Chain A
Amino acid sequence: MYSRNVAPSKILVVDDDPDIRRIAALALERIGGFRVLLAEDAAAALDLAAREAPDLVLLDVSMPGADGPSVLAALRARHARPIPVVFFTAASNDAEVERLRALGAVGVVPKPFEVADLPRRIRAILADLGIE
């Protein structure tokens, strides 16, 4: 379903909180060696996804305006080849994780997260998908 990368995988981080974008970018770029794109809202996320074709989107569930599930639905509608989406959420109980997976997420990362652990989690998901 996905093609295997040779270059560093491109991760689009979508979160309205600049503090989360900053720490996630630092973790993914400097610790994980990924190429990172940042978006603060749905419009920026959809624009970057169209222009940059990220390998994976790390998407906050709860954002003002269009929330994470709405962005996921818009990505699905606009891209013939589905871009894998991992949700970031502060409400990571079992029922919520199940709901997010049912929407099509390939993973769920709880917030708060361990900085050094984030790139490992993303790499494991990419490996499961055959992207890395």
Chain B
Amino acid sequence: MTGARDPAIEDLLAAVRRDFAAKLPERGAELAALVARAAWDDVRRAAHKLRGSAATYGFVDLGAHAAAIEDLLLEAADAGAAPDDAARARLDALVAQAVAACERASQEGA
């Protein structure tokens, strides 16, 4: 989120970034809850949304974690199966990272 030099626009961007960041802990918790329920399609959709929006709002780490979650679930879907034990372990680690990134982003954006 750089390149807009007009201070009024910069203020607006900062405000929308704060709004976005404030909702992230809840979104992280939702993601973790979906994983706990093994609702893989919903997890993939939630990760897809975060992948597109998080880095656009300046939260690059969170966008990268969300992208990794979506890609892992797309691989499993392409194989026609739910994530196996190894994939599930990676997924749990990635989701934990995403949840932590949501919390950090919320603190940064406040």
Q: Which of A's residues lie within 8 Å of B, judged by CB?
A: 17, 19-20, 22-23, 26, 30-31, 62, 64, 88, 90, 111-117
Q: Which residues of A contact B13 (CB under 8 A)?
A: 26, 115
Q: Which of A26, A111, A112 contacts B12 (CB 8 A)?
A: A26
Q: Which residues, 79 to 109 on B, are CB-close (under 8 Å) to A?
A: none
Which single residue of chain B is at the shortest CB-CB distance from A119? B4
Beyond the given pairs A112-B52, A114-B2, A115-B1, 18 more chain A to chain B contacts, judged by CB atoms under 8 angstroms and listed by A's residue number, are A17-B49, A17-B52, A19-B53, A23-B56, A23-B57, A26-B9, A26-B12, A26-B16, A31-B6, A90-B48, A90-B51, A111-B52, A112-B53, A112-B54, A112-B56, A113-B56, A115-B4, A116-B1
B63 in the interface (beta carbon within 8 A)? yes
- Chain B residues in contact with chain A, CB under 8 A? 1-4, 6, 9, 12-13, 16, 20, 45, 48-49, 51-57, 63, 67, 70
Contact of B16 (CB < 8 Å), options: A23, A31, A90, A116: A23
State how many angstroms separate the Cβ of A129 from the closest Cβ of chain B.
24
Q: Is the CB of B52 within 8 A of A31?
A: no
**Chain B's nearest CB lies how many Å from the CB of A78?**
27
- Given contacts A23-B57, A26-B13, whether A111 and B51 have CB atoms under 8 Å apart is yes
